[in-house]
Amino acid sequence: MNVFFDNCTSPVFASNGFIAHEGHQAVHIRDLGALPNGRHSADVEWIDFLRKSNDEWIFFSGDGRILRNPAERAALRSAGLHGFILAPAYQKTPIHQVASLLVLRWPEVVQIVKLLQPPSMHEIPINRHAKLRSLSF
């Protein structure tokens, strides 16, 4: 499985140290050279890139507005991706704490990907004890 992190997340999260031992690969938008406008590609462009890929992709975004834009929502639905949106509180959280929460939540993410057919969208709450919340789009 490939894990994509958009511009609203830190490139630090795309280091492969934790997930590589499970055979997964992480990439940040800045490191995905196949995009037409590189790191400055619009959301619909990276969504389309992931859709056209023959690989299995999931994505993480720090921008919940992606679900409110009609063009981006339509692109997400047609792409058949599993998406994980970081709750707004993550924007004010130190990067090392966000990284630790993503590692903590990783087993839940993998379980969702295994159990649900794409497309699916979930919010990752900042509270360690709260469950991932299913989002409609």
CA-based R_g, the chain, Å: 14
Neighbours of 76 (CB within 10 A): 24
Question: What's this model's pTM, rounded to 2 decimal places?
Answer: 0.92
C-beta separation of 38 from 30 below 8 A: yes
| End-to-end C-alpha distance for the chain, whole angstroms | 23
pLDDT digit string, tens, across residues 12-71? 898 877 788 888 999 999 998 888 888 899 999 999 999 999 899 999 999 999 999 999
